[in-house]
Amino acid sequence: MYTILITQKEAEVAAATRAEIARLAPGARVIITDDRDAIAAALPAVDIVAGHLSAAQLGQAVNLRWYQQWGAGADWLARHPELAERDFVLTNASGVHAINISEHIFALLLAFARGLPAAFGAQARGEWQRQGDAVFELAGKTLLLVGVGAIGQRTAHLASAFGLRVWGIRRHPGRAAPGVERMGDMARLHEWLPEADFVVLTIPLTAETRHVIDEAALRRMKRTAYLINIGRGATVDEAALARGLREGWLAGAGLDVFEQEPLPAGSPLWAMPNVIITAHYSGATPEYQPRAMAIFLENLRRFVQGEELQNIVDKRLGY
């Protein structure tokens, strides 16, 4: 039958999950381990891998038919084009982050709206400092979503509840999304930037999206607008962003991802009062494992039945 490798600690895979794998793929040999030596020994024979593998490890999986990666981003393929040419199906965990990352986006938006960075600074200094002149409301403003996948759609849902107008940019603008009033492709970006109060990036990193927010784009934004990036750091030209924040091309930025991580100590972004930095943890949630496992189990059912899998990644495009 199949040999299935799950690259996790045995204790992390519940007995009920193992029973479901056995039900979906009767007779399959299932290996559950996070030990590097055990993984290396298993790789040449595996048909299916679920979890995390390095590029070097993928190279050893010569009989691989399907790799269910445990994360969403597949920009690693750009660094390993030889793997993109391999004949295996790659699926990702797209959708697993929709709730927690959309909530992180609104945490950043609300922090700016209610003046929380200044309030936290005043608290640390023991000062009673009202923020009344600096606050604003989200309702009635325009949020431009650059990327309308699972995270973007959940963000649009929340935005509608807050009374925001939502415009979206996606590769295929003919696909509508609930709560998105206007939909366009990347060619609309510079046209729509001057009308947006908030620009939220959820896009993957590809050749097309690298530095899509560059100096020209930043100069198109309102001086009162805020940029939120929870996608990939290199979609933003950080040097141009730092300059724009200093010179007032935009009001502020909430950043969870960066071109270099950890963000270097010498980055000017650390000291800017109009920047909120979180250390690439918008994707963190205690619900990650069960959601990702549910995607794998559904795809395992489809694989065994010969059906098309969910969340297939185009290995040449990287998403």
What are 178-189's pLDDT values in tens digits?
A: 999 999 999 999
Residue 112 CA to its chain's centroid (Å): 21
Residue 27, domain extent: 3-96+286-305
| Domain assignment present for 145 | yes
- The predicted pLDDT at position 150 comes to 94
The verdict on 13 and 35 lying in the same domain is: yes
Number of structural domains the chain divides into: 2
| Domain assignment present for 228 | yes
The verdict on 80 and 106 lying in the same domain is: no
Catalytic-residue membership of 261: yes
| Domain assignment present for 49 | yes
73 vs 187: which has the higher pLDDT: 187
> What number is the average pLDDT over the span 77-101?
94
> What number is the average pLDDT over the span 103-130?
97
Instruction: Name the token pair of 302.
Output: 């489809």
Residue 67 CA to its chain's centroid (Å): 19
User: What integer best gives the mean pLDDT of the chain?
Assistant: 96
The verdict on 291 and 267 lying in the same domain is: no
Contact (CB, 8 A) for 151 and 97: yes
φ/ψ of residue 275, rounded to 5 = -125, 135
The verdict on 301 and 252 lying in the same domain is: no
- The active-site residue, picked from 29, 80, 280, 301, is 280
Quick one: pLDDT band at residue 64, thresholds 50, 70, 90? very high
- The predicted pLDDT at position 9 comes to 96
Residue 196 has pLDDT above 90, yes or no: yes
> What number is the average pLDDT over the span 97-107?
97
The verdict on 65 and 107 lying in the same domain is: no
Question: What is the domain-level CATH number for residue 67?
Answer: 3.40.50.720
The verdict on 68 and 8 lying in the same domain is: yes
Instruction: Name the token pair of 19.
Output: 């029973």
| Domain assignment present for 319 | no
Which tens digit of pLDDT belongs to each residue from 228-276?
A: 999 999 999 999 999 999 999 999 999 999 999 999 999 999 999 999 9
- The active-site residue, picked from 97, 104, 220, 232, is 232
Residue 131 has pLDDT above 90, yes or no: no
Quick one: pLDDT band at residue 221, thresholds 50, 70, 90? very high
- The active-site residue, picked from 247, 261, 287, 307, is 261
The verdict on 104 and 253 lying in the same domain is: yes
Catalytic-residue membership of 211: no
Catalytic-residue membership of 280: yes
Quick one: pLDDT band at residue 197, thresholds 50, 70, 90? very high
The verdict on 232 and 105 lying in the same domain is: yes
- The predicted pLDDT at position 75 comes to 86
Q: Whole-model pTM above 0.85?
A: yes
Instruction: Name the token pair of 211.
Output: 């530095």
The verdict on 132 and 44 lying in the same domain is: no
Which tens digit of pLDDT belongs to each residue from 11-55?
A: 999 999 999 999 999 999 999 999 999 999 999 999 999 999 999
Closest CA to 166 of 230, 157, 185: 157
> What number is the average pLDDT over the span 131-146?
95
The verdict on 108 and 248 lying in the same domain is: yes
- The predicted pLDDT at position 133 comes to 86
What order do you get walking across the sheet with 275-277 strand by strand? 182-184, 165-169, 142-146, 198-201, 226-229, 252-255, 275-277
